[in-house]
């Protein structure tokens, strides 16, 4: 009954925040109850008494078209990393997807969008942090476009204080880092040839990272010129291949940011010096399987919790790990098999400190809009699974987004993508702390490079996640 109750109603949510799943949708969603929901009813009661998730806002804020979109192009915001920049202001690093590209995963860079009201987030005045640029391939000698993938990083907000009440020495500064990959889709088309986003791989791979120093003085947000860094130049002895999912967490005067070296996920320690923020160490997360796109939070007891997107044969599992010694050793505290689709999985923390897993519910045997049974990597339903009080199990889920119910089937056919969840607890101009969850929505057809325009709902979506316990401020001001 606990699972069914959660599916039909978000318990204890405020009327304006309650996200109801009506009976018409629940008729087909009820089949998910037996598909890997790991619930501990007794633990759930204990957690609810002390706090815990209570609901998700019903109507998302949508940020869709970048102001810099050229005439004749279809650009949409996608992934978003929210972070605090002052005692009453926040920002979102919003990556840009080029829907009109002739291939998939063709990104255009990242904008920073400032806001102080969680119900009013608009892209007017967005600050461009990264943009694609052309350059000559160092081995092939042909022109390519360096495609800039989502920028993430860390930031110490203006006015932040340390645990002893002293002003944080690096308040008002931070960094962003993005992965840059050579792409010759447009260049090949001009030569009368066909290419796609991942044609240039193996010995023809040309990729590196770009690091930007970020700052906010109370009036203007500034992004410094990107600095190029080869994959092996960031931390001696480590060759990075990608970033984690979401931003970093503060650790004293440092910032810890998840990154990946091949299929080895871990945490990079970034430290501020004469040249701004730079990484100086990498600590692997001791996973029992290959995994990427890690995310890390600091639990209420000071320990670090982490998860990552498993590869290989474990791609449907959810893993949660814990370290009590700063990353020197990790233990697996939750293993939930067959719970999720093989898509990005995040570990976030509500305003009252409740940790939760957010990812796509497993949909094995899902009947798609063509009437066929779909066994593939579909991302139709985004769910939140709170951790129980002693962090040993996942509780019954909350439905954050069910686009087929909310919007109907996508106009291009096939399925929706609702994915790449990232969140943060932010203090706004109303003086209150709000936990915001960002994710991308698009029709799969938009990302295939076949000329389909974006749907009316495509873009960056932001919802507020509500919790019952007292707020645990993310920063001291």
Residue 214 pLDDT > 90, yes or no? yes
128-132, 156-160, 270-274, 342-346: which has the minimum mean pLDDT? 342-346
70-79, 116-125, 357-366: which has the minimum mean pLDDT? 357-366
Q: What percent of the chain has pLDDT over 70?
A: 86
Q: DSSP 3-state assignment of 474? A: coil
- Residue 159 near residue 477 (C-beta atoms within 8 A): yes
Query: What is the arithmetic mean of pLDDT over 117-134?
Result: 96
Residue 326 pLDDT > 80, yes or no? yes
Q: DSSP 3-state assignment of 289? A: coil
Residue 17 pLDDT > 70, yes or no? no
Could you report how far apart the first and last alpha carbons of the chain are, in Å? Answer: 43
- Residue 201 near residue 222 (C-beta atoms within 8 A): no
- pLDDT, averaged across the chain: 86
- Residue 171 near residue 160 (C-beta atoms within 8 A): yes
Q: What pLDDT is stored for residue 375 in this prediction?
A: 57
* Comparison of pLDDT for 405 and 439, the residue scoring more: 439
Confidence of residue 373 (pLDDT cuts 50, 70, 90): low
Q: Is the pTM higher than 0.85?
A: yes
Q: What is the DSSP string of 308-377?
A: EEE-GGGTT-EEEEEESSTTSS-EEEEEETT-B-SS--EEEE-TTS-EEEEEEBP-TTEE-TTS-EE-S-
Q: What pLDDT is stored for residue 85 in this prediction?
A: 98
Kind and range of the H or E element at 47? helix 41-50
Residue 22 pLDDT > 60, yes or no? no
Q: What pLDDT is stored for residue 376 in this prediction?
A: 53
Residue 302 pLDDT > 70, yes or no? yes
- Residue 423 near residue 435 (C-beta atoms within 8 A): yes
Q: What pLDDT is stored for residue 37 in this prediction?
A: 36
How far is Cα 150 from Cα 251, in angstroms, rounded to an integer?
23
Residue 23 pLDDT > 50, yes or no? no
B/e letters for 356-388, b = 16+ CB within 10 Å, e = fewer, are bbbbbbbbeebebeeeeebeeebbbbbbbbbbb
How far is Cα 374 from Cα 416, in angstroms, rounded to an integer?
13
- Residue 293 near residue 272 (C-beta atoms within 8 A): no
Confidence of residue 341 (pLDDT cuts 50, 70, 90): confident
């Amino acid at each position: 009954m606990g699972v069914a109750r959660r599916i039909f109603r978000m318990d204890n949510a405020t009327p304006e925040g309650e996200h109801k799943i009506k009976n018409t949708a629940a008729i087909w969603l009820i089949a998910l109850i037996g598909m890997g929901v790991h619930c501990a009813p007794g633990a759930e009661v204990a957690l609810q008494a002390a706090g815990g998730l209570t609901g998700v806002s019903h109507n998302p804020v949508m940020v869709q078209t970048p102001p810099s979109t050229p005439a004749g192009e279809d650009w949409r915001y996608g992934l978003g990393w929210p972070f605090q920049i002052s005692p009453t202001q926040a920002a979102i690093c919003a990556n840009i997807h080029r829907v009109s590209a002739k291939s998939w995963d063709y990104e255009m860079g990242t904008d920073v969008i400032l806001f102080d009201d969680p119900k009013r987030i608009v892209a007017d005045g967005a600050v461009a942090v990264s943009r694609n640029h052309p350059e000559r391939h160092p081995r092939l000698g042909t022109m390519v476009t360096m495609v800039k993938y989502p920028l993430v990083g860390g930031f110490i907000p203006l006015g932040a204080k340390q645990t002893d009440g002293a002003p944080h020495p690096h308040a008002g500064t931070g960094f962003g880092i993005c992965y840059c990959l050579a792409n010759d889709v447009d260049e090949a088309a001009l030569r009368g040839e066909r290419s796609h986003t991942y044609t240039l791989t193996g010995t023809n791979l040309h990729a590196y990272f770009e690091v930007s120093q970020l700052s906010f003085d109370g009036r203007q947000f500034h992004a410094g010129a990107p600095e190029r860094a080869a994959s092996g130049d960031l931390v001696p002895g480590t060759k990075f291949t990608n970033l984690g999912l979401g931003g970093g967490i503060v650790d004293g005067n440092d910032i810890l940011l998840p990154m990946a070296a091949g299929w080895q996920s871990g945490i990079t320690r970034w430290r501020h010096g004469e040249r701004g923020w730079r990484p100086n160490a990498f600590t692997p997360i001791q996973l029992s399987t290959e995994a990427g796109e890690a995310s890390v939070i600091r639990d209420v007891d000071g320990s670090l919790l982490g998860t990552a997107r498993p590869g290989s044969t474990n791609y449907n599992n959810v893993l949660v790990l814990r370290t009590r010694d700063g990353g020197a050793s990790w233990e697996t505290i939750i293993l939930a098999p067959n719970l999720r689709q093989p898509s990005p999985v995040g570990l976030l923390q509500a305003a009252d400190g409740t940790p939760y897993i957010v990812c796509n519910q497993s949909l094995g045997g899902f009947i798609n809009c063509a009437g066929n049974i779909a066994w593939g990597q579909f991302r139709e339903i985004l769910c939140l699974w709170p951790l129980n009080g002693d962090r040993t199990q996942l509780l019954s889920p909350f439905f954050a987004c069910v686009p087929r119910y909310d919007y109907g089937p996508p106009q291009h056919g096939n399925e929706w993508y609702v994915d790449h969840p990232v969140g943060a607890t932010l203090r706004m101009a109303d003086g209150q702390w709000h936990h915001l969850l960002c994710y991308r929505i698009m029709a799969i057809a938009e990302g295939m490079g076949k000329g389909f325009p974006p749907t009316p709902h495509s873009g960056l979506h932001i919802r507020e996640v509500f919790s019952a316990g007292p707020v645990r401020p993310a920063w001291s001001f």
